[in-house]
Amino acid sequence: MTFKNLFIEHDLAPEVRQWLEEEIAEQEERFKLIEKEMQDLAPTREKWYQEFFDRITTIGFNVDGDDKMKISQADLPVKPEGREDRVVWKHGVDSD
């Protein structure tokens, strides 16, 4: 991903490279912690999903702004068999 804006070429000093390596390593640890916390949240999230389905079938699903449409029970999605509930994707579409 890029903001597609100007970057001015320049040399990186060794201490800058070392700083980047350390920050990348720390970020890796931070990511693992987040991923674990979000896995642990899965049982609570299952209840949130059910509450969401209850609301969009009774009050409505926000189609655009405050325009709402009630979703029929028959149209609710079925969780694919064997698929884990995953919300953290390290590299988006390029995740494992």
Q: Which of 31, 27, 29 is nearest to 39 (CA)?
A: 31
Cβ distance 85 to 43 under 8 Å? no
Residue 64 within binding range of another protein, rule CB under 8 A = yes
Residue 81 within binding range of another protein, rule CB under 8 A = no
Cβ distance 39 to 46 under 8 Å? no
Binding-site residue total for another protein (CB under 8 A)?
58
Looking only at residues 43 through 62 of this chain, which bind another protein when binding is defined by CB under 8 A? 44-45, 48-49, 52-53, 55-56, 59-62
Please report how close the Cβ of residue 61 comes to another protein at its closest, in angstroms: 6
What sign does the CA torsion over 79, 45, 50, 59 have?
A: negative
Residue 88 within binding range of another protein, rule CB under 8 A = yes
Residue 74 within binding range of another protein, rule CB under 8 A = no
